[in-house]
A = this chain, B = another copy of it.
Amino acid sequence: MDGDRFTVTYILSAESEKEVNSRAESIRVEQTVEMPLSAVPAPGLHSLGRIESIRKTEENCRWRVVISYPNQLSFNDITQGINVLFGNISLLPGILITDCSDSFFKPLFSGPAHGIRGIRELLDNPNGGISCTALKPVGLSPQELAERALHFAASGIDLIKDDHGLTNQNSAPFTDRVRQCVYAVRAGEQKSGKRTLYFPNITSSPEKVLENAIFARENGADGLLLCPQLCGLELIRTISSEIGLPVMAHPAFSGSMVIHPDHGFTPEFYYGKLWRALGADCVIYPNAGGRFSFSEETCQRINTQLRTPFCGFQSSLPAPAGGISLESIPKLLQQYGPDTAYLIGGSLYANNLGFAEAAKQFNQTLQ
């Protein structure tokens, strides 16, 4: 592929070779000039996508199609890059994006600022599996949430994040919550003798996200939790580059993009490549075997994609979550390895030992 173009790989649903040819032809037009070719004037012809290959897959009526596009289409604009990937064609059935060439990412994206290595340095934890939990439920006061943070930090939990449903409710306004939880985590560290990083949830409207991020940084938060699909994907990059704290990306509202086997994006591409490229230092995703629907193979592919060399970007820390219990940690640690943040939320609170004692065992199991 010449240096000024990038490729997108799609799996298209089509019942015949004729149909897949026609679908590929319409995609290369839809995502670029968006008008009948007969009416495209000469300067517009350079904008067109170009079909590079069409191949049958082993699955019935599914075709692997590669189309290349000029980098000029997404010049200097990540959001427009995402539009070229899946803007209008998101409205068409039977289109799944499985990959893009590095030449899509390299000119636009910078990847994580901290990544696995940076988070390990902040934690002073060079090797072990990483423990992670969530402050919840919504409805508790800042004091009550901070008390939980204190116990978790005292128990040695590595990463504590707000539940992504904690925003600015009257029960625990953002500013009070952040101040009290930061204070509690620092107090807990005195008891544990180790570092704990606290990630408050800054998700809100785009302008408020930045305001929240600045407040959190100024008040001693160690990282930031963001739901990019709710706020706008490119906010990952904005927060990463302008605030400087590690960004933990939460998948709320992104399910429609990744759970349909013949539409949207593969989870490993979306979370593993796109969110990593955008700058997510840690990516939460719904783990297999819990209450969500990813297979173990999908989870392993996300893990691999987040950690593997990719455009020279830092690796991102995978954080499988959802229905993980203390008892499942030894097996998961074998499966996913130590470069993983094991996120146990609800089941830690429900543990018969009490959550502080359960958190201690959680950490011990990961060492």
Contact = CB atoms under 8 A, between A and B. Distances in A.
9 contacts: A35-B349, A38-B350, A41-B140, A45-B139, A46-B139, A73-B138, A87-B253, A91-B251, A232-B232
Contacts of A227: 83, 87
Interface of A: 26, 30-36, 38-41, 43-47, 72-73, 75-80, 82-84, 86-93, 134, 136-141, 144, 163-165, 167-171, 203-208, 210, 227, 229-235, 237-238, 251-260, 263-264, 286, 291-293, 345-347, 349-350
Nearest to A84: B165
B92 A293 contact: yes
A72, A83, A235 interface centre (most CB from chain B within 10 Å): A83
Contact of A165 (B34, B92, B163): B34
Contacts of A255: 88-92
Contacts of A45: 139
A24 to B, nearest CB: 14
B230 A205 contact: no
Contacts of A88: 164, 251-252, 255
Contact of A79 (B78, B93, B230): B230
B137 A44 contact: yes
A168 B75 contact: yes
Contacts of A349: 35-36, 39
Given A87-B165, A137-B47, A205-B79, A92 B232 contact: no
Contact of A139 (B44, B164, B231): B44
Contacts of A264: 256
A80 to B, nearest CB: 4
Contacts of A139: 33, 43-47
Nearest to A95: B255
Contact of A32 (B41, B87, B138): B138
Given A79-B203, A139-B46, A205-B238, A91 B286 contact: yes
Nearest to A70: B139
A165 B350 contact: no
A105 to B, nearest CB: 16
B171 A72 contact: yes
Nearest to A46: B139
Nearest to A90: B255
A33 B345 CA distance: 11
A36 B80 contact: no
Given A32-B165, A75-B170, A346-B36, A144 B43 contact: yes
Contact of A77 (B36, B84, B167, B207): B167
A80, A171, A345 interface centre (most CB from chain B within 10 Å): A80
A93, A234, A258, A264 interface centre (most CB from chain B within 10 Å): A234
A292 B92 contact: yes
Contact of A345 (B35, B72, B84, B165): B35
Contact of A87 (B34, B47, B76, B230): B230
A167 B279 CA distance: 22
Contacts of A167: 75, 77, 79-80, 83
Q: Lowest 3 CB-CB distances: which A-B pairs, in order?
A: A232-B232, A90-B255, A35-B346
Given A205-B79, A252-B88, A47 B138 contact: yes
A291 B95 CA distance: 14
A195 B44 CA distance: 29
Contacts of A89: 255
